[in-house]
Amino acid sequence: MKKNWLTIIGILFIVVGTVITYFAKWALADVSGFAVTMFGAGLATANLWNKRDKTIKTWLSVLSLVLVGVGAFISGFGGIIAESLVTTIISSVFGFVVIIGGLIVSTIANKSN
């Protein structure tokens, strides 16, 4: 039932947004491209949400998705950095976190021995 409501709300937003874009004089191709892009972002986010570790607190999962999504949106809107740079930043930060985590775990393991 929840997905039915989300579908209905999504369709209503698309219809209302399309009517407003007509009066705002946006090109149909631009609006269609934007809609398809956002649909893809929604699918990617839903896929990430379904793959999350259910034992982790929900607020932590939501916060991580929101921060990454908003940061990527702002970067894309600003047009300052390229998609490859965003991927490099995410990979570098994730690698850095894994290294720090490994050092912490090995330090704790050595102290307990």
The parent domain of residue 11 ranges over 1-51
Give me the pLDDT at residue 63, please: 93
Q: Name the percent of the chain lying above pLDDT 70.
A: 89
Task: Tell me if 14 is assigned to some domain.
Answer: yes
The DSSP secondary structure of 17-83, one letter per residue, reads HHHHHHHTT--HHHHHHHHHHHHHHHHHHHHHHHHS-TTS-HHHHHHHHHHHHHHHHHHHHHT-S-H
Task: Tell me if 42 is assigned to some domain.
Answer: yes
Q: How far apart (Å, rounded) are the C-alpha atoms in residues 49 and 66? A: 11
Give me the pLDDT at residue 80, please: 61
Task: Tell me if 28 is assigned to some domain.
Answer: yes
Task: Tell me if 78 is assigned to some domain.
Answer: no
Task: Tell me if 36 is assigned to some domain.
Answer: yes
Task: Tell me if 46 is assigned to some domain.
Answer: yes
pLDDT at 107 over 70: yes
Task: Tell me if 43 is assigned to some domain.
Answer: yes
pTM for this entry: 0.62
Task: Tell me if 5 is assigned to some domain.
Answer: yes
Per the structure, the count of domains in the chain is: 1
Give me the pLDDT at residue 86, please: 67
> Could you report the per-residue pLDDT of 25-69, keeping only the tens digit for each?
888 888 888 888 888 888 899 999 999 988 989 999 999 899 988
**Which of 49 and 96 is assigned the larger pLDDT?**
49
